[in-house]
């Protein structure tokens, strides 16, 4: 019986689909021609891609001699070199630690997308725990494993490390800068505006290069730290300046009356800010913040230029030997797919949130 | 405590906070200067801009004007600056045109066009720019050599030596004059109020090519043709305009990435045009092309312009990635100069100043365009 009652619904859905197709793809002869041509082209491209990547591909590392006359991709290079791409120069026996550490970061990002974690204390705890787990696993000192220093971290693990430390450092710094920019004190406001506008008008590469090369000239040795930390701080400053503008947009959406109402109720400025204003600011700023996080993840790839062994650098190394040199496309396709999956899912999530909030506002 | 005393206490506290901030900033600057001084003395470096007149002694991949390794640092930096501007402007123009086309397709009801545009945007926007750049560069250097070059009707060639295009048989100065003439014509023609946009565009294309041909005819050497067509000769090409692979890869990567972003901006703008306006256009019997040109785009431009300006600035900044594949943009020249001459602080200062200048000019241009677009009386 249940089946019988579902049947009309099924066919109804089918008619709606057919109607949409009729309206949007086959309205007139020229319309139909365009549709058939474009969908034919897309099917052809998809088929070529599937044929190259799956049907005619060589998969196993041992079969590399078949690659030259196979018509498709040579995934042998990935089978043989994926550890180098994912973990860089990290000691081979310790790769399980690197894997767990990467999973910790991915889990942190995924969990922070769940509304259940959307309170300041939970988010902060989550990120500190996730990031802490990463560092403890990678370093190994605290869990009684052989110590691996930061200069041996590499590949995808390094990319995720840079990304998460930039977000973790940059987010509170961005909030601080946004608050400073709205301060009543002219000197504080002026300094924050100057810093934000200056960093925002420079290319990221300039900021990172300055952090890597110029800062050692300007600061006494004891303040310099490792190059990786300087670059992370520089990158976090860049993130913070953009994020401060995102927060500023959130602040502008709060009516002035709310501050006054807080004052009238006898709340201290800090209470008004933390209990009334900030929760709304975070809400308003959420879609743009996710966009900012996505952009940061993409931009992390440029640390290769200032000499870090990130996933792009290890990809270049993966086809850097005579044996694997012809299969650069496969290596880039592999790295590109990893990036694409991360970025696509995060940005789709951002779009979903934006749509959900638009409904709530109506 | 009365109100006056509270107020006084508060203003004292404010003063204290601000003074502390100023003291802190001054302290940081003082430490930076004194450390830089000791570090530079240890390295036996003389600070200042005297090095700008020294010869560089090194070469690089691309220049619009004549260069040699005996050029001074100032000339080399100028070449880098010109390269950045040149690359940035090409990418801005190409990705804006492509972005408008794809954004319009993304806004279209036609399902095929819409899906194609969506796939394009989702692919190119969701991959890091530098990954796309090194990918295209790797593809280009693996192209066949000049003997097996891909060719388009024997006038343009693509090989691992770069892209060879047909051009005019004239000196760079005349090319500059041609460019000036084309820009001048654009300014004159697009100010005419009596012409339709399509007419303006056609008139500009025709008169622009005419002016270029005329200049080429006047200035080309008497004994040869006014066109210079590349021809394969042994392991290289003769004649034509050679576009090095670094530049091809930069233009390709930045344009694909930038156009995907601009397409989203354009789609957003077109989407915000009230549907009543397009329906009114239809009711008046306007063709869909006329609705696009006279109703949708003029209305949408007001929402599109500010984020479009941000994309232009982003594209200008993205030229710095040239250093990853050895294209001699300003950042490449500056970082090479730093390793060669050691004048880190001066060169970084010049680099930052150049980008502030570029971004400021672009922002001014966008403001000007915004003001022109604003609805009269609002």
Structure tokens at A80: 């043989």
Calculate how close chain A gets to B372, using CA atoms only, in Å. 24
- Chain B segment 297-356 residues within 8 A of A by beta carbon are 313, 317-318, 320-321, 323-324, 331, 335, 338, 344-345, 348, 351-352, 355-356
The listed range with the strongest mean pLDDT (B163-167, B193-197, B244-248) is B244-248
pLDDT in the model for residue A243 = 95
The listed range with the strongest mean pLDDT (B155-159, B233-237, B291-295) is B291-295
Q: What is the rounded CA–CA span in Å between residue A236 and residue A328? A: 32
Q: What is the rounded CA–CA span in Å between residue A76 and residue A82? A: 10
Q: Which residues of B touch A325 (CB under 8 A)?
A: none
- Chain B segment 206-265 residues within 8 A of A by beta carbon are none
pLDDT in the model for residue A361 = 60
Calculate how close chain A gets to B362, using CA atoms only, in Å. 11
When pLDDT is cut at 50, 70 and 90, the band that residue B1 belongs to is low
pLDDT in the model for residue A202 = 92
pLDDT in the model for residue A362 = 53
Task: Specify whether the CB–CB gap between A130 and A101 falls below 8 A.
Answer: no
Question: For A330, which residue in chain B has the nearest alpha carbon?
Answer: B135
Rounded to an integer, the average pLDDT of A1-11 is 58
Task: Specify whether the CB–CB gap between B107 and B121 falls below 8 A.
Answer: no
Mean pLDDT value across chain B: 87
Mean pLDDT value across chain A: 87
When pLDDT is cut at 50, 70 and 90, the band that residue A4 belongs to is low
How deeply is B88 buried, as exposed, middle or buried, from its count of CB atoms within 10 A (0-12, 13-18, 19+)? buried
Pick the closest to residue A84 from A347, A309, A360 (CA basis). A309
> Among B21, B318, B356, whose Cβ lies nearest the Cβ of A201?
B356
When pLDDT is cut at 50, 70 and 90, the band that residue A13 belongs to is confident
Percent over 90 (pLDDT), chain A: 38
> Among A31, A188, A198, whose Cβ lies nearest the Cβ of B18?
A188
> Among B116, B318, B335, whose Cβ lies nearest the Cβ of A38?
B116
How deeply is A239 buried, as exposed, middle or buried, from its count of CB atoms within 10 A (0-12, 13-18, 19+)? buried
> Among B131, B139, B352, whose Cβ lies nearest the Cβ of A335?
B131
Percent over 90 (pLDDT), chain B: 41
Rounded to an integer, the average pLDDT of A334-340 is 94
- Interface membership of A304 toward B (CB under 8 Å): yes
Task: Specify whether the CB–CB gap between B85 and B315 falls below 8 A.
Answer: no
Bridge pairing between strands B241-243 and B236-238: unpaired
pLDDT in the model for residue A241 = 96
A294 vs B44, more confident: A294
pLDDT in the model for residue A30 = 83
- Interface membership of B203 toward A (CB under 8 Å): no
- Chain B segment 111-170 residues within 8 A of A by beta carbon are 111-116, 119, 122-123, 125-131, 134-135, 138-139, 142
pLDDT in the model for residue B308 = 93
> Among B21, B110, B127, whose Cβ lies nearest the Cβ of A24?
B110
How deeply is B339 buried, as exposed, middle or buried, from its count of CB atoms within 10 A (0-12, 13-18, 19+)? exposed
Question: For B324, which residue in chain A has the nearest alpha carbon?
Answer: A305
pLDDT of A6 strictly over 60 = no
pLDDT of A148 strictly over 60 = yes
Structure confidence by residue, pLDDT tens digits, B271-286 = 889 989 999 999 999 9
When pLDDT is cut at 50, 70 and 90, the band that residue A172 belongs to is very high
The domain of A297 spans: 76-361
Q: Which residues of B touch A187 (CB under 8 A)?
A: 18, 21-22
Domain containing residue A352: CATH number: 1.10.3720.10
Task: Specify whether the CB–CB gap between B216 and B174 falls below 8 A.
Answer: yes
CB contact under 8 A, A204 and B317: yes
A18 vs B259, more confident: B259
Rounded to an integer, the average pLDDT of B138-148 is 84
pLDDT in the model for residue B122 = 95
Question: For B344, which residue in chain A has the nearest alpha carbon?
Answer: A214
pLDDT in the model for residue B45 = 76
pLDDT in the model for residue A1 = 45
Going by the DSSP 8-state scheme, the letter that residue A224 receives in this structure is H
Q: ipTM of this predicted complex?
A: 0.89
Q: Which of A264-268, A311-315, B143-147, B256-260 has the lowest mean pLDDT?
A: B143-147
Examine residue A300 and state whether it is found in any structural domain, yes or no.
Answer: yes
Q: What is the rounded CA–CA span in Å between residue B354 and residue B357? A: 5
User: What stretch of H or E contains A211?
Assistant: none
* Number of independent structural domains in chain A: 1
Examine residue A234 and state whether it is found in any structural domain, yes or no.
Answer: yes
Angle between the N-to-C axes of helices B330-341 and B73-107, in degrees from 0 to 180, rounded to the nearest 10: 150
Examine residue A297 and state whether it is found in any structural domain, yes or no.
Answer: yes
Structure confidence by residue, pLDDT tens digits, A88-140 = 888 888 888 988 999 999 999 999 888 888 877 888 899 999 999 998 888 88
Examine residue A228 and state whether it is found in any structural domain, yes or no.
Answer: yes
CB contact under 8 A, B318 and A203: yes
Examine residue A310 and state whether it is found in any structural domain, yes or no.
Answer: yes
> B interface mutation test: which of A42, A189, A217 has the most B CBs within 10 A?
A217
> A interface mutation test: which of B19, B102, B111 has the most A CBs within 10 A?
B111
| Region B73-165+242-373: CATH code | 1.10.3720.10
pLDDT in the model for residue B167 = 78
Task: Specify whether the CB–CB gap between A85 and A311 falls below 8 A.
Answer: yes
pLDDT of B107 strictly over 70 = yes
pLDDT in the model for residue A311 = 87
pLDDT in the model for residue B199 = 81
Is A74 strand, coil or helix?
strand
Q: What is the rounded CA–CA span in Å between residue A106 and residue A314? A: 20
CB contact under 8 A, B320 and A203: yes
The radius of gyration of chain B's CA atoms, rounded to the nearest angstrom, is: 26
The sheet carrying B150-152 orders its strands as: B150-152, B156-159, B162-165, B241-243
User: What stretch of H or E contains A337?
Assistant: helix A328-361
When pLDDT is cut at 50, 70 and 90, the band that residue B378 belongs to is low
Pick the closest to residue A281 from A359, A178, A360, A183 (CA basis). A178
Rounded to an integer, the average pLDDT of A285-304 is 91
């Amino acid at each position: 019986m249940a089946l019988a009652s579902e049947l009309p619904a099924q066919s109804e859905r089918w008619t709606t689909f057919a109607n949409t197709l009729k309206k949007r793809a086959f309205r007139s002869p020229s319309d139909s021609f365009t549709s058939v041509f474009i969908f034919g082209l897309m099917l052809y491209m998809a088929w070529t891609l599937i044929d190259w990547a799956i049907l005619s591909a060589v998969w196993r590392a041992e079969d590399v001699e078949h690659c030259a006359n196979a018509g498709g991709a040579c995934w042998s290079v990935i089978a043989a070199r994926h550890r180098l791409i994912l973990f860089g120069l990290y000691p081979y026996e310790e790769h399980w630690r690197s894997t767990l550490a990467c999973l910790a970061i991915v889990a942190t990002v995924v969990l922070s997308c769940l509304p259940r974690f959307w309170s300041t204390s939970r988010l902060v705890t989550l990120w500190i725990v996730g990031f802490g787990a990463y560092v403890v696993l990678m370093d190994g000192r605290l869990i009684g494993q052989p110590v691996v220093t930061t200069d041996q971290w590499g590949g995808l693990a390094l990319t995720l490390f840079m990304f998460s430390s930039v977000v973790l450092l940059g987010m509170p710094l961005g909030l601080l800068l946004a608050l400073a920019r709205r301060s009543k004190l002219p000197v504080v406001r002026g300094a924050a505006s100057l810093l934000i506008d200056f960093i925002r008008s420079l290319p990221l590469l300039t900021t990172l290069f300055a952090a890597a090369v110029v800062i050692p000239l300007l600061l006494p040795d004891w303040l310099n730290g490792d190059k990786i930390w300087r670059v992370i701080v520089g990158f976090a400053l860049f993130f913070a300046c953009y994020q401060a503008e995102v927060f500023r947009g959130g602040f502008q959406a709060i009516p002035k009356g709310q501050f006054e109402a807080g004052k009238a109720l006898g709340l201290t400025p800090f209470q008004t800010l933390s209990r009334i204003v900030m929760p709304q600011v975070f809400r308003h700023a959420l879609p743009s913040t996710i966009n900012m996080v996505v952009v940061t993840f993409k931009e992390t790839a440029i640390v290769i230029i200032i000499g870090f062994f990130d996933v792009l650098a290890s990809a270049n190394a993966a086809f850097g030997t005579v044996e694997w040199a012809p299969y650069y496309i496969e290596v880039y396709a592999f790295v590109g797919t990893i990036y694409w999956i991360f970025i696509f899912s995060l940005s789709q999530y951002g779009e979903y949130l934006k749509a959900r909030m638009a409904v709530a506002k109506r | 405590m009365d109100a006056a005393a509270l107020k006084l206490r508060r203003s004292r506290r404010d003063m204290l906070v601000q003074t502390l901030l100023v003291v802190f900033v001054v302290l940081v600057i003082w430490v930076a200067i004194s450390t830089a001084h000791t570090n530079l003395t240890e390295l036996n470096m003389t600070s200042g801009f005297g090095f700008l007149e020294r010869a560089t002694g090194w070469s690089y991949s691309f220049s619009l004007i004549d260069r040699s390794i005996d050029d001074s640092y100032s000339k080399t930096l100028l070449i880098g600056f010109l390269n950045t501007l040149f690359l940035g402007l090409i990418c801005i123009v190409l990705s804006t045109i492509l972005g408008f086309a794809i954004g319009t397709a993304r806004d279209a009801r036609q399902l095929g066009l819409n899906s194609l545009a969506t796939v394009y945007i989702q692919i190119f926007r969701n991959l890091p720019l530098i990954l796309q750049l090194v990918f295209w560069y790797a593809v280009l250097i693996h192209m066949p050599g000049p003997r097996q070059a891909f060719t388009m009707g024997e006038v343009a060639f693509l090989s691992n030596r770069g892209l060879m295009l047909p051009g005019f048989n004239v000196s760079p100065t005349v090319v500059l004059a041609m460019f000036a003439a084309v820009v001048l014509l654009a300014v004159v023609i697009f100010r005419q109020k009596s012409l339709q946009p399509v007419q303006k565009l056609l008139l500009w294309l025709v008169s622009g090519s005419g002016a270029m041909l005329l200049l080429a005819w006047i200035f080309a050497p008497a004994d040869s043709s006014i066109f210079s067509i590349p021809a394969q000769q042994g392991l290289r090409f003769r004649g034509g305009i050679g576009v090095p692979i670094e530049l091809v890869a930069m233009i390709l990567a930045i344009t694909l990435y930038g156009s995907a972003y601009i397409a989203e901006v354009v789609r957003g703008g077109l989407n915000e045009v009230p549907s009543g306006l397009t329906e009114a256009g239809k009711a008046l019997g306007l063709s869909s092309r006329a609705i696009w040109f006279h109703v949708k785009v003029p209305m949408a431009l007001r929402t599109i312009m500010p984020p479009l300006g941000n994309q232009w600035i982003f594209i200008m900044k993205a030229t710095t990635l040239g250093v990853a594949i050895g294209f001699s943009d300003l950042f490449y020249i500056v970082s090479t100069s730093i390793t060669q001459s050691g004048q880190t602080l001066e060169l970084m200062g010049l680099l930052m100043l150049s980008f502030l200048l570029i971004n400021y000019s672009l922002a001014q241009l966008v403001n000007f365009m915004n003001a022109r677009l604003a609805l009269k009386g609002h």
